[in-house]
Amino acid sequence: MQPSIVRLERVTKTFALPEGGMITALKAIDLDVRRNEFLTLLGPSGCGKTTLLHSISGFVQLDGGKVSIDGEDVTERPPHRRPVNTVFQNYALFPHMNVDKNVGYALDIAGTDGKERGRRVGAALELVGLSGLGGRLPRQLSGGQQQRVALARAIIARPKLLLLDEPLSALDRNLRQAMQIELKGLQAELGISFIFVTHDQEEALTMSDRLAVLEKGVIQQLDTPRSVYSRPANAFVASFIGASNLFEGAARSDGTDMLVVTPNGEHIRAAGSGTVANGQPVTALIRPEQFSLHNGGNGQPAAFIDADVEQIVFTGLNYQIHGRTPAGRKVVAIIAAVHQREVAEIDAAKKARLTYDPAGVQLIGASGGEP
């Protein structure tokens, strides 16, 4: 096993609210960040992801626990003596300094001599594609350029670890997607670990080697993007990552398959029997893209849900079909755009029979949630 670059042990932080009362931002969090990995902290606002980031950079005083960077205990060290650098959410570029001074700030503080400084600033600007803009002030740059300056400034001191606090949230969609790929490339080129904070699940899935989903100060799941998506640990993760159709109910076995029976009488079929004891509460997850449209022929499909179609949204790549089961539960199905004709039919009929493969249904919540 490679030793981890960052290790958090039972890290705890509680904030006093201005109205009185306390809020626990981090509840005894354990986390190991591997060398040279792109780790994303994902969660809704207020889940503690920024506090977790600050506990590594040193901007919060912890109430308990231990933070080690590269094997050294840094729990009591102030931010300026930790070997990590941060790309801030609003970039936090020094408005009174030009790009050259901003990027070279860490070197100026360290007293790096002029020739070496010039060389490294030049190299950092080249790396982010801003050569020749050293004389500009931050306000004379576009949002994307400011983003790159912040990046160059954060990597110039060759930190052991780069922290990124929602750095792409202020960019428009196209630029954000371009930057996602660039950041990933940069991380591979620099060979250091990135810890990336975001509330955007698509961003997290695109870029990460591993993904930690946070909620209420607790890491709900830490795994590769694919595993988190296909095998969510609980209902929160399932609903936060990707659109989900969740059916809470009680488990029942019919001999070959598991059935999840919801209180209003719907049956969801999941492959594999005997994984959940009869009568246990369990939640079945069907991703929208797992549904297909029943074409009417070939008799009864193995597993299906009937829905009244409420709305069909065309996104270019596919159709999002928003419907409601006879019992009144909302369901979402995503059907590829090539099935245009079938979609037109259900649009006319306002009724759809959504079939799914029981082998793809995830059971969440009860012990042994994986079939």
Q: Which residues bind another protein (CB under 8 A)?
A: 18, 57-59, 78-81, 84-86, 88-90, 92-96, 98, 100, 105-106, 108-110, 135-137, 140, 153-154, 157
Q: How far apart are CA 246 and CA 149, in angstroms?
A: 43
Query: Which residues have C-beta within 8 Å of that of residue 38, sequence separation ≥ 6?
Result: 184, 187, 193, 194, 196, 207, 208, 209, 210
Q: How far apart are CA 81 and CA 222, in angstroms?
A: 29
Element (H, E) at 362: strand 362-364
Decide if 259 contacts 253 (C-beta within 8 A): yes
Q: How far apart are CA 168 and CA 172, in angstroms?
A: 8
Which of 185, 273, 195 has its CA nearest to residue 32? 195
CA 15 to chain CA mean position, Å: 24
Q: Sheet of 330-336: strands edge to edge?
A: 292-293, 351-355, 304-314, 318-324, 330-336
Q: DSSP characters for 144-194?
A: HHHHHHHHHHHHTT--SEEEEESTTTTS-HHHHHHHHHHHHHHHHHHT-EE
Q: Sheet of 84-87: strands edge to edge?
A: 84-87, 161-165, 193-198, 38-42, 210-215, 218-223
User: Residue for token digits 């969510």?
Assistant: 232
Q: Return the DSSP state at 137.
A: -
Phi, psi of 291 (to 5 degrees): -80, 145
User: Residue for token digits 């070279």?
Assistant: 104
Q: Is 369 left (phi over 0), alpha (psi -120 to 50) or beta?
A: alpha
